[in-house]
Structure 1
Amino acid sequence: MVSAALELSAQRFGEQGSPFLSPRRVAELLGVTMTELAGLIGVARNTLAAKAGARKVDAALSPVVRVLAMVGEMAGSEERAAIWFKHQPIPGWAGKTAYDLVREGKADKVLAYLEAVRSGVYA
């Protein structure tokens, strides 16, 4: 049931008429440029716009969208999720934010932290 709600939340990051996530929508929500988004997810800037790179971009954006969807569900809005993602240090990570950890390829650590918070471990 929780994964179904998360799935619906994550669908809002898709491009209409396409099965892939929209880099433009994610960049707009986070308030970053497409170049910054490319750096965050570890792909070349040109890959974000290329139709041939859609699967690669989708796979790279997926962890970011999962984090944003989970935080949005917990915080009550996408805007709050974006603020948290960029600015709230995560305990135990020396002041690093979710943005920092995702950029380092540690989105799984952020998701594990969020699952623990949702379960009441850190509450």
Structure 2
Amino acid sequence: MMDTVSIDHGAAAISGFVESLQEPRTPYISPKRFSKALGVQVAGLANLAGVHRNTLRNPASERLQDKLREMVRVISAAATLTGDVSKAIYWYRNEPIADYDHRTAAELVAEGHADAVMAHLRDLENGASG
């Protein structure tokens, strides 16, 4: 069982990750910072977000920000399970999910299925604790 210090440290890491994505002096997630965190070119971020690359030219675009928030929500939930943001990002981009035709969380979120990925993470969490 995790002790309180580990849980606090994990929550702080996730909070730090989310804060690191902020476009300076704005309430927006920075596409440039997020692409760097994910280890992809900015054009690759458009692919992962399921938006046209030209959409990234307007970081304040509500559609873009909605997609980026969905990605952050899933990665944060995965990081809560793994205890590590880097492992969560790796999982998000690379691990096929058997229940979803072996597509990755990134592919599913880009296709608009963030809620399905969140349900999968809840199942994992419940299986791990139950």
TM-score normalised by the chain length of structure 2: 0.75
Asked if 1:78 is matched to 2:85, the reply is yes
State the one-letter code of the partner of 1:46.
Answer: N
Asked if 1:57 is matched to 2:64, the reply is yes
Larger radius of gyration: 2
Name the residue aligned to 1:14: 22
Quote the offset at 1:121 in angstroms: 6.8
Question: Is the 1:10–1:66 Cα contact (8 Å) retained in structure 2?
Answer: no
Structure 1, unaligned runs of 5 or more:
none
2-structure distance, mates of 1:51, 1:32: 17
Quote the offset at 1:18 in angstroms: 1.3
Asked if 1:30 is matched to 2:69, the reply is no
2-structure distance, mates of 1:35, 1:86: 15
Structure 2, unaligned runs of 5 or more:
1-10
Residue correspondences, number:
119
Q: Which of 108, 111, 119 matches 2:115?
A: 108
State the one-letter code of the partner of 1:29.
Answer: A
TM-score normalised by the chain length of structure 1: 0.79
Name the residue aligned to 2:48: 40
State the one-letter code of the partner of 1:63.
Answer: E
What's the RMSD between the two structures over aligned residues?
2.6
2-structure distance, mates of 1:26, 1:20: 11
Distance 1:51 1:80, change over 3 A: closer
Percent of matched pairs sharing the same residue:
34
Q: Which of 82, 105, 128 matches 1:98?
A: 105
